[in-house]
Amino acid sequence: MIALTLAEIAAATSGRLELGATDAAPETVVDGAVTTDSREVGTGDVFVAKRGEFDDGHNFAAAAAEQGAALLIVERPLDLPVPQVVVADSVDALGDLASEVVRRVRALGRLRIVGVTGSNGKTTTKNLLRTVLEQVGPTVAARASFNNEVGAPITMLELTEQTQFLVAEMGASGVGHIARLVRLARPDVGIVLKVGLAHAGEFGGIEQTVRAKSEMVTDLLETDVAVLNADDPRVVPMAALTRARVTWFGMADSADVRAVDVVSHARGTEFTVIVPGGESARVRFSVLGEHHVMNALAAIAASRELGVPLAEIVRGLEQVTLAERWRMQVLGGRDGITIINDAYNASPDSMAAALKTLAQVKAPGTRTVAVLGEMSELGEFSGEEHDRIGLLAVRLGISQLVVVGRGARRLHISAINEGSWDGESAFVETDEEAFELVTGSIRPGDTVLVKSSNAAGLRHLGDRLGEWFS
């Protein structure tokens, strides 16, 4: 975090500064990291005591103090020998502090902010942008999927006076969540990747999902840029909701930044990108999966709007070998066996894309195995979407289907009910059963996809299979 006095932090958070018996004064400067996790606190850091569904951060404030916290942001005074700012709501205070830091760094005149949202691909696109923009200047981007009302402000608080680019991943589980994050750090460039059924159960339907994602662009100014997916019929109408200039990306001929001659293989994906003015370049993209080309196109469009030459953008993209751990992560290798661990998250769109990739990358004469778990948070769409994925696996000719957990059982039933299939589907209750089944039946040269929502936990099964066949 940039250097601020205790008094300035209290003012930014509308809090009351409590110095108690400490030697600190209102003018004491704090410039450490800000965290809500007491285990991450180091000397000089700020600990925000956040109340959660199951834990109360105030219970861990003593540990934070022992580890050298310079300041506690709390909702009630604590009997600890550390300066404290007492606020009405610690999460609101975290956001207010982040907003103040962004404001101050913006005032220096060099900071540009990119906001990224969408039902799928946020983290991948954020990572691609970080790699490209780091070639140009100091860049801050979220760790992992820090994209909610806590994670996004913590990322913003990593800004320094030297930061040139902030890439803010902005997620939501309801209407108003993205708008809140946009207010904290209004993007110069706002990206909407795709609107699908991911979290549709939480949102209350696809219409509400569209409304929530459109919050990325509704408050942009005329001087800003909205980077929109030309191939998504739910994203295209957002152009009418923004004052910003629109740049389109996609496969469609109408897109400003588009990909042609896409080739997928086991080492990644190659494509030619064409940008306004007719300039083009061949991209040898090591991230597995044709669906990640769309994320790359979004990153290219945004980077060009920030003034990065196409050659530098391509050089950055080609440095990326993994979108993120547990996202199309290639493991294994023994006896020609490939494990693709893509079990960090799953929506109907990403599940379908992963299965299509599995079918595309297998070598002639070898088998494909899909180990699939539940797609969570789909609400009323859950049954029919699991049915659809089961049928897709059959129609793609996946050699072996292993369905894990009761939440995904309809996927298994739909697959075995498809009479034209000459493959087989197996249903198991647990990861352990799945591990035993796969390791007992796999053959040299097989390609295995492990895919589920985060809650289903199959990412650890994917890691275990990758280690077993390494």
Annotated binding site for ATP: 118-124
- Region of 236 on the Ramachandran plot (φ > 0 left; ψ -120 to 50 alpha; else beta): alpha
Instruction: Tell me the C-alpha distance between 459 and 367, whole Å.
Output: 21
CA angle in degrees (0–180, nearest 5) for 150-152-155: 110
Helices (H), 407-457: 409-416, 431-441
Give CA–CA dist 403/451, Å, rounded. 10
Scanning the structure block, which residue is given the tokens 């197996």?
Answer: 426
CB 230 within 8 A of CB 250: yes
Instruction: Considering only CA atoms, give the Rg of the chain.
Output: 24
- Distance from chain centroid for Cα 428: 29
Point out the annotated binding site: 118-124
* Contact present, 139 and 133 (Cβ < 8 Å): yes
Kind plus residue range of the DSSP H or E element containing 173: none
- The three-state DSSP-derived secondary structure of 270-301 is EEEEECCCCCEEEEEECCCCCCHHHHHHHHHH
Nearest in space to 202 (alpha carbons), one of 119, 132, 140, 146? 119
The single residue listed with the structure tokens 């540009």 is 112
Residues 242, 243, 244: CA angle, nearest 5 degrees:
90
Beta bridge partners, 391, equal none
Q: Which amino acid is at 344?
A: Y
28 contacts 6 by C-beta, under 8 angstroms: yes
Whether 167 contacts 152, CB under 8 Å: no
